[in-house]
Amino acid sequence: MVRAAVRGERYDVVVVGAGPAGIFAALELCERSDLNVLVVEKGADLSQRSCPARYTGRCRRCEPCDITSGWGGAGAFSDGKLTLSAELGGWLGEYVSRADLEALLSDVDQIWCRHGAPDAVFGDDMSAVQEWRTRAMREELKLLYSPIRHMGTERCVEVLESMRRALNGRVKVETQTTVASLLTDSGAVQGVVLDSGREVEARAVIVAPGREGAEWLKSQAERLGLSVVSNAVDIGVRVELPALVMEEMTAELYEPKLLFTSHRFEDQVRTFCVNPHGVVCTESYGDAVTVNGHSYADAERKTLYTNFALLVSTRFTHPFNEPIVYGKSIARLANVLGKDIIVQRLGDLRAGRRSTAARLARGNVEPTLPDATPGDLSFVLPYRLLQDIIDMLNAMDRLLPGVARRDTLLYGVEVKFYSSRLELDQGLQTGIAGLYAVGDGAGVTRGLMQASASGLLAARAVLSSLSAAKSEE
């Protein structure tokens, strides 16, 4: 719907999505102005979000998914890792200078801490980092400097609840409300249309749809004639092994960020979301169920196992421009063959046989996702991606003996969707005046810290723009 909204309900700013990007945009707007702000979120409020898979191990395909949607976004029930390095977590460095990005991340970190994030930081001991970097280099691995502030799943929820309270009475929040389309007229945003048909006028709209809303944003961009560039899609597996195998490294770095260039195809493979003493879980993206992982800060809830993702970044060439469709098709194939998630011993994969319940029981790793179906990932993942992952596991095994052992478990599939990226200016404004796109769903970030920073950046651009417009009136 590309037309002006009728006169009626009106706000200065509408924020679409209440994940970290949307929350930080709202916090900045209400703390620095008296603007009338509406936050619209398709999922439930934080207190009403409850994923049955967390207790049963079985995804019920709730619509929308309570893991990926709702107040706090997909990060609400994540491990709560705040990556403090400007080198990781997205592409904001393409829009602002390094100094400005570091200042943004510092502001974001202070806000997280103000709302209850812990003081402790892991992986900031440069002597330890340098030692591990040298050891990794010998095995063809690159270790990135990535200090981490770890909240833990349960503490992450508490921090997001604090942010929710900080906005009470200062902005209007409507959960379980979906934005159907964006309203524009003469190259400027006019507001939004909700799924109920209700039209809401706004002088500025900050779209922060998260990964769950990536496809919706792409469809809106196409409808409005906005230029987009396809991002890579990350596809891989979640690895689970005894925590003691990686204890030496995780004790010092908590979440090591390792990169590897595969031998046969020279694809980039990376570790992602390392969860010492954690559990494997699921999340749903519409009709596709994928695997994930998290860990708790509470010592009583720690397990004997560590899990992490191994992801292969894949870019497609013209004319194909549907990386999200491709990633979901891989996930759906695993869902068909494995009743959602497949689990396989690495030894079985190497031997060219499927894992069975009996073979898993003989191993030394008890799956922390008990409802995963024993199976064969070679029927799901393309040969190229599977070989990339095996090459990386072999390299990691040389660095940390035991990583590529027979009983190591591989869960599939894990997919990270980064939407097609819109062309944006330095304040993350699109080609439509007053329309801003932020966070993972906009394809500019891939993690809590930069997603939060993108919300902050857009909110400051909105404040500057509206202030300039007011002075001209």
Q: What pLDDT digit, counting tens, does each position of 232-289 carry?
A: 788 999 999 999 999 999 999 999 999 999 999 999 999 999 999 999 999 887 788 9
Q: What's residue 319's pLDDT?
A: 66
Q: What is the pLDDT of residues 196-218, one digit of tens each?
A: 999 999 999 999 998 888 889 98
As a whole number of angstroms, the distance between CA 378 and CA 389 comes to 12
* CA angle, residues 90, 92, 98, in degrees to nearest 5: 115
Residue percentage of the chain with pLDDT more than 90: 70
Buried-exposed string 206-227: b where 16+ CB fall within 10 A, e elsewhere: bbbbbbbbbbbbbebbeebebe
- What is the SS3 assignment for 218? helix
Residue 49: which pLDDT band, with cuts at 50, 70 and 90?
Answer: confident
How does the average pLDDT of the chain come out, rounded? 90
Assigned fold of 10-122+146-230+422-472: FAD/NAD(P)-binding domain (3.50.50)
Q: What's residue 107's pLDDT?
A: 97
Instruction: Tell me the β-bridge partners of 425.
Output: none
Residue 447: pLDDT over 90: no
Q: Residue ranges of the alpha helices (H) in 370-414? A: 383-399
Instruction: Compute φ and ψ for 436, nearest 5 degrees.
Output: -120, 145
- What is the SS3 assignment for 350? helix
Instruction: Tell me the β-bridge partners of 236.
Output: 311, 414
CB 445 within 8 A of CB 90: yes
As a whole number of angstroms, the distance between CA 329 and CA 335 comes to 10
As a whole number of angstroms, the distance between CA 20 and CA 72 comes to 6
413: nearest Cα among 319, 311, 322, 345: 311
> In this structure, what token pair is assigned to residue 328?
């979901």
Residue 452: pLDDT over 60: yes
Instruction: Tell me the β-bridge partners of 191.
Output: 183, 201
Residue 80: pLDDT over 70: yes
407: nearest Cα among 353, 348, 361, 345: 345
The secondary element (H helix, E strand) that includes residue 191 is: strand 188-194
Q: What is the pLDDT of residues 344-366, one digit of tens each?
A: 999 999 999 999 999 999 999 99
The secondary element (H helix, E strand) that includes residue 458 is: helix 448-472
User: In this structure, what DSSP letter does residue 90 have?
Assistant: B
Amino acid at 177: T
Mean pLDDT over 419-446 rounds to: 91
Cis bond leading into 40, ω under 30°? no
Residue 6: which pLDDT band, with cuts at 50, 70 and 90?
Answer: very low
Residue with tokens 């509470």: 298
Residue 55: pLDDT over 60: no
Residue 4: which pLDDT band, with cuts at 50, 70 and 90?
Answer: very low
324: nearest Cα among 439, 441, 411: 441
Give strand ranges (E) for 31-157.
Answer: 37-40, 81-83, 141-144, 148-150
> In this structure, what token pair is assigned to residue 197?
């048909």
Q: How far is CA 346 from the centre of its chain?
A: 26
Residue with tokens 């990535």: 146
User: Count of CB atoms within 10 A of residue 232's CB?
Assistant: 17
Q: What does the domain layout of the chain look like in residue ranges? A: 10-122+146-230+422-472, 233-416
CB 2 within 8 A of CB 24: no
Q: What is the pLDDT of residues 101-158, one digit of tens each?
A: 999 999 999 999 999 999 989 888 999 999 999 999 999 999 999 998 988 777 888 9
Q: How far is CA 170 from the centre of its chain?
A: 27
Q: 0.95 cut: is pTM over it?
A: no
Instruction: Compute φ and ψ for 67, nearest 5 degrees.
Output: -85, -40
User: Count of CB atoms within 10 A of residue 252's CB?
Assistant: 16
Q: What's residue 5's pLDDT?
A: 41
Residues near 299 by beta carbon (within 8 Å), at least 6 away in sequence: none
Q: What is the pLDDT of residues 177-188, one digit of tens each?
A: 999 999 999 999
CB 142 within 8 A of CB 259: yes
Q: What's residue 76's pLDDT?
A: 63
Instruction: Compute φ and ψ for 200, nearest 5 degrees.
Output: -125, 120
- What is the SS3 assignment for 257? strand
